[in-house]
With several copies, the nearest count.
Chain A
Amino acid sequence: MDISTVIAGTRFDNPVFLASGIVDETLKSVERAIKSGAGAAVTKSIGKDERPGYAPPIISELPTGMINAVGLANPGIDDFIDEFRTSKLKEKIVVSIFGKDSEEFLELAKRVQEVGFKTVELNLSCPHVKGYGSEVGEDPDLVEEIITELKNKTNLKVWAKLTPNVTHIVDIAKAAEGADALVLINTVKAIGVNIWARKFSLTNGIGGYSGPGIKPIALRAVYDVYRETGKEIIGVGGITSYEDAIEFILLGAKAVQVGTAIYYKDFQIFNEISQGIINYLEKEGFENLQEIIGLMVR
């Protein structure tokens, strides 16, 4: 059964990718995800300068998922490049970058391109760091400018990862029209409270909500954006099983990313989902993955 998928002209063996920020700070972990069956792996988001991130607790487990405020911890682009340049799996590694404006994004993208990566994912959506992520990604003009700049001045494929924390995600998606693909969604702004300590569960207070609890929200984003823009979409948010993945695919996602599920099922999640998709396609009488992409919307 052929479950390969083509995103912006690039073919991936299977449509189950590792999401940015989950076991992907170090090269060896990223490669481990790929060797464990991920069709591609997105790195932790990298910025210009080193950031230690927030003090732990940086995650808080919930009955319905998890909230995190890692705080864009990253070694800075120099050390990142130094560590990742040696990889032989560059075709399957997508580098996530974050910046405060088009200049920063462009600078980062060029560095990434220089050492041979083919695709960047733009973090326009991290909800818990001032001046970055969703603060950039909720501004359609800025989104458009960043993408135009990167498409004009690099040869990279550009995936734009959008935030659900906006009134009309379709407006942002339209601003991101120039991107090769859209990644939907990043975490949902949220808070956890510990009533016995009477403190926030996370050091940073505000965090990003991920896991099963955000799946219905992510599905809505994928559906609305696919229906309204027809763009190539990678679905992410709360996927922990092949059934979840297929829900996204039926609504138009050409691939999915898996983050928090690593916490529930570890690296085997990739093969588990791929195998599940194969079984589903067989059982339901489809010839290949293509047949069900966007089936419920077309």
Chain B
Amino acid sequence: MKFSEIASAKKIGKDFFELSFSIDSEVKPGQFLMIWVPGVKEIPMSVSNLKNPITISFKAIGETTRKLSTMREGQRIFYRGPYGNTFPEPKGRAAYVAGGTGIASLLPLIRIHPGDVYYGLRTAEDIVYGEIVNFVSTDDGTLGFKGNVVDLFIKEDKEYDEVFVCGPEPMMKYFHDKIDRRKYGKIYYSLERLMKCGVGICDSCSINGFRVCKDGTVFEHEQLDMMDEFGTVRRAESGRRIFLK
């Protein structure tokens, strides 16, 4: 476990925060850190800006993220990592399809290799990083396309050499099953699952024997084809299967 001092702390949207701090190792696009808030919990967080001071971007949804959102410049932040495999750098026309906090893991790539950014939100006031978004959807139609970002993406119907997707698993599952695979070159998904160890030994993040933390987080479209648990079975903290839908 390492620690660093927070270089800057910003609120960038409704319940949405950025913390920046310097770390002592190189991070690649798509990788995540395990962030420990002593006295609370340790949670995975994507790195949304790779250069020191690196940045994490998160929504305050529970006790740990809420505590993180109260942290200020100069305070200590504890972390380990970076962990996980990485997105390959895109070579052609790229699309980025994000849902909610999933945008965080795509940001580094978007900055390195601009492309079309599709962003799905619940409602208008959830918008963050609006300046880099090309196509936006909201569930309630208060901003952009009314509906989910997958349907927006399909409606736009553009061709891409590489597509990068990150968001809630149901959204990624829907994307995976709905899109016309032949229209795109490579499609990469960065998965999110309950993580306890972050380093591939506790099995709590596994989908069909693939550990999201270690074999992923980034998987290709065709790998997901073979994972019948993807989008259908998630795991409780106990490891108990929770069947979706």
Contact = CB atoms under 8 A, between A and B. Distances in A.
A and B touch in their complex, CB below 8 angstroms: yes
A32 interface: yes
Contacts of A196: 3, 76, 78
Interface in A47-96: 50-53, 55-61, 70, 73-76, 79, 82-83
Interface string B65-101: 0000000000010101000000000000000000000
B130 interface: no
A29 interface: yes
Given A70-B202, A201-B1, A56 B241 contact: no
Given A25-B203, A56-B43, A58-B196, A74 B1 contact: no
A262 B204 CA distance: 15
A75 B238 contact: yes
A11 interface: no
Contacts of B36: 57, 197
Contacts of A53: 196, 237-238
Given A196-B76, A197-B38, A52 B237 contact: yes
B199 A59 contact: yes
A28 interface: yes
Contacts of B199: 59, 61, 263
User: Looking at chain B's contact residues, is the secondary structure mostly helix, strand, loop, or mixed?
Assistant: loop
A24 interface: yes
A23 B208 contact: no
Contacts of B173: none
Which among A44, A73, A194 has the highest number of chain B CB atoms within 10 Å? Answer: A73
A34 B236 CA distance: 25
Contacts of B13: none
Nearest to A59: B197
A75 B241 CA distance: 8
Contacts of A76: 238, 240
B52 to A, nearest CB: 19
A76 B236 CA distance: 12
A194 B38 contact: yes
A57 B195 CA distance: 10
Nearest to B209: A28
A22 B239 contact: no
Contacts of B204: 25, 73
Contacts, number: 115
Nearest to B194: A56
B175 to A, nearest CB: 23
Contacts of B237: 52-53, 73
A261 to B, nearest CB: 10
B113 to A, nearest CB: 30
Given A26-B235, A79-B240, A44 B203 contact: yes
Contacts of B211: 23, 29
Contacts of A260: 201
B200 A263 contact: yes
A114 to B, nearest CB: 20
Contacts of B236: 50, 52, 75
A197 B76 contact: yes
Nearest to A260: B201
B206 interface: yes
Contacts of B229: 28
A199 interface: yes
The 7 lowest CB-CB distance pairs between A and B, nearest first, are A28-B209, A75-B240, A25-B203, A52-B237, A197-B38, A56-B42, A32-B209
17 contacts: A22-B201, A22-B202, A25-B206, A26-B206, A28-B206, A44-B239, A50-B236, A53-B196, A57-B1, A57-B36, A58-B196, A59-B197, A75-B236, A83-B241, A196-B3, A197-B78, A263-B199
Given A23-B206, A25-B203, A26-B239, 15 more contacts: A25-B206, A44-B203, A50-B238, A51-B238, A52-B237, A53-B237, A53-B238, A55-B41, A61-B199, A73-B237, A73-B239, A75-B236, A75-B241, A76-B240, A266-B200
